[in-house]
Chain A
Amino acid sequence: MKYYFMTLMPYAAIDQAERLKYDSAWVTLPNSLYDPKEGARLYQEYIDDLVRADQLGFDGVCVNEHHQTAYGMMPSPIVIASILARETKNCKIAILGSAIPLRDHPLTLAEEHAMIDTISKGRLITGMVRGIGAEYHAFGTNPAKSHERFHEAHDLIIKAWTQPGPFHYESKHYDFKYVNIWPTPYQKPHPPIWIPSQGSQETIEFASHPDHKYTYLQTFSPAVQVKKFLDAYRQQAETYGYEADDSQLGWSVPVYVGETDEQAIKEARPHFDAFRTIFAKMPMPMLLPPGYTSVNSLMRLMGRGNVSHTPTLEEAIKDGIIICGSADTVREKLAEHHDNIRFGHFLANLQFGTMPAEMTKANMHRFAEQVMEPLRARKETKQKTKQDNLAPVA
């Protein structure tokens, strides 16, 4: 299993009382609540976190894209990934992902990702997403064209990376007379593609397709849902006639490691609560604009009843929406989830909500030293035992 550090870069300096006067932290929250000086401080801290993750031995660092929101200060993950291409030395740099259908000219993404891949000498992981519903309000892009544009933009980017140019790309929504990007990616045929999702059959079919075999990443979901969707991927791969490797599956989840279980819960609570209630919450019409999700999927979703329940930290821990506790507890939980769910990539969100820099730093150290390294050692022992057991047969 590979370990990644993930951050959303929330605007943690938000005035929570002011924020709560509005529906959500997205799209319509006045940006007069944003203070550029606080923003400058937070960017430094968050970039320090990402660079520290490389030094602590994480396999990768992850950034993502959200627009016009206090939820995350990365309207362009390209900017942050570009910095990391030079500031980090060994780790993978995962952009999870670029919201490709939002672009009227997705070739810019083929170019920018190729640049970062080259500058980092092949350390880029390219995530491709549609962007959540709120982005379609923020960007004005038509949500009813989102699926089509995603597939066409994906197709264009892959072709731009793999087919010799110049060539003419023609699809329903895009028509580019000259596709002939310089530079092309450092990795051949192209950087690994990851598809982050909160779970949809269409996405699983797309990611697991034999022509793709893209890594499917389940984000912010209860552990039972993670298992359900990762199993659905394995099942779909079987339907396609191959066995999915664990490296095709990943899970992204908030993690907090404290000195003791009690301390961990006490320390994580305000920041987890802020994550859920201040940053993540949004009204349904903002989350699911018409056409973003198929009518049939929406009917199923509405059938499930209360989808907007905000869990308490205890509920979230129980459901595996967050892993929180002492190092022993987190290590055991993670090992248990890994054995039960099986995934090749684990993305720990070690900063969430309003968590301040010192606390994030301590969390990262405890996770890296007392969770990640022991689990890596355990795996090596396990493999060694397995080999020792096999030896006498020969």
Chain B
Amino acid sequence: MSTSQVTVKEETHKGYALTTWELGAGPPLLFLHGAGGAANMFAGEQPAAFLIELAKSFRVIVPEHPGFGVKERPDWLDNIHDMAYFYLDYLKGLDLGGVHVVGQSLGGWIALEMAVRDTSDIASLTVAGAAGLRLKGIKKEDIFLWTRDDFVRHMFRNPEVAKAFAAHEPSPDQLKAMLRNNETLALLAWEPRMYDPNLDKWLHRIDVPTHVIWADDDVVMPRPYGEGITALVKGAKFSVVPKTGHLLHLDEPQAFSQAVQSFIMEQAA
């Protein structure tokens, strides 16, 4: 099977028809997407480059979070904890033994909330540009006040990637998904803004190998957040991907995927 061959599935979990994309072969890896959603990563002729890269070593499973994409938000979804419990149930249902959980931005936050609760189905944890931690006094840009131009300017540090993003004209379905994604992001993260006030008290409970990957120029979740998470999770490793912004996995897909993969391989060795 080619590493970029993708299987799309829709299965009902907790009354919600969850869409998942799967590609690659190897140990299972669950990728939890950020506020941009999952569908965009599979909208082109090829899946997003970082996923193709990961699929060379892993069976990559990418669900689209409840409340994201074109579908209606499920009634039970009120907060980030609902999301974490949903995915813990989902992992239990998959029954794959240990799954490598990788989350970016909002997805990283979900992954942290899962891991403080229950790691019995998690083999390792990788979070990149993760939200969730409260740090006082760090200046952050307000993504909810951004225009599309602001978004392009702030999110990327690879000019080619930024240019391609800015040039993309979304289809009506993509536009609808974007509006839904923003709405659910607001529900989960407007107030308190992008954090769980209690998360820092329990990060020490995480007892699986943990890798914290950060951009070198993230204005949404500046680097002290990455360092803060690393300090609170026992034995966590911190790495930085140079020349990247908050969407580091899109800015430098090879370097990002390399970082994810090498950490997991080191743990297995």
Contacts and interface: CB of A to CB of B under 8 A. Distances in A.
B191 A137 contact: no
B244 interface: no
A144 B187 contact: yes
Given A298-B179, A299-B176, A289 B186 contact: yes
B180 A295 contact: yes
Q: How large is the interface on A (under 10, 10 to 19, 20 to 34, 35 or more residues)?
A: 20 to 34
A295 B183 contact: yes
B185 interface: yes
B165 interface: no
A281 B187 CA distance: 26
Interface string A18-47: 000000000110000000000000000000
B194 to A, nearest CB: 12
A53 B195 CA distance: 49
Contacts of A286: 145
Interface string B124-149: 00000000000000000000111100
A290 B145 contact: no
B230 interface: no
A144 B186 contact: yes
A99 to B, nearest CB: 16
A314 B187 CA distance: 42
A145 interface: yes
A302 interface: yes
A162 interface: no
A91 B265 CA distance: 78
A16 interface: no
Interface string A280-315: 000111100111000100110010000000000000
Given A290-B179, A295-B176, A143 B147 contact: no
A145 B145 contact: no
B147 A285 contact: yes
Interface residues of B, number: 18
B105 to A, nearest CB: 16
A142 interface: yes
A142 B186 contact: yes
Contacts of B210: none
B145 A137 contact: yes
Interface string B167-189: 00000100110011011111100
A140 B186 CA distance: 11
Nearest to B181: A290
A290 B180 CA distance: 8
A290 B191 contact: no
Given A137-B145, A285-B144, A290 B175 contact: no
A40 B183 CA distance: 40
B145 A143 contact: no
A28 B150 CA distance: 16
B175 A289 contact: no
A141 B191 contact: yes
B185 A290 contact: yes
A13 B147 CA distance: 29
A284 B179 CA distance: 13
A145 B187 contact: yes
Nearest to B191: A142
B151 to A, nearest CB: 10
Interface string A215-252: 00000000000000000000000000000000000000
Contact of A285 (B146, B175, B179): B146
A144 B179 contact: no
A285 B180 CA distance: 14
Given A140-B191, A141-B191, A142-B191, A28 B145 contact: yes
Given A142-B191, A283-B145, A285-B146, A295 B179 contact: yes
Nearest to B190: A142
Given A295-B176, A295-B179, A299-B175, A143 B146 contact: no
A27 B190 CA distance: 16
A302 B171 CA distance: 13
Interface in A152-196: none
Interface string A353-372: 00000000000000000000
A283 B190 contact: no
28 contacts: A27-B145, A28-B145, A136-B190, A141-B191, A143-B186, A144-B184, A144-B190, A145-B187, A283-B147, A285-B144, A285-B145, A285-B146, A289-B144, A289-B186, A290-B144, A290-B179, A290-B182, A290-B183, A290-B186, A291-B182, A291-B186, A291-B187, A291-B190, A295-B176, A295-B180, A295-B183, A299-B172, A299-B176
Interface of B: 144-147, 172, 175-176, 179-180, 182-187, 190-191, 193
Given A295-B183, A299-B175, 18 more contacts: A136-B190, A140-B190, A140-B191, A142-B186, A142-B191, A143-B190, A144-B183, A145-B187, A283-B145, A283-B147, A285-B146, A285-B147, A286-B145, A290-B179, A290-B186, A291-B183, A298-B179, A302-B175
Q: Would you list the 3 A-B pairs with minimal beta carbon distance, nearest first? A: A290-B182, A144-B187, A290-B186
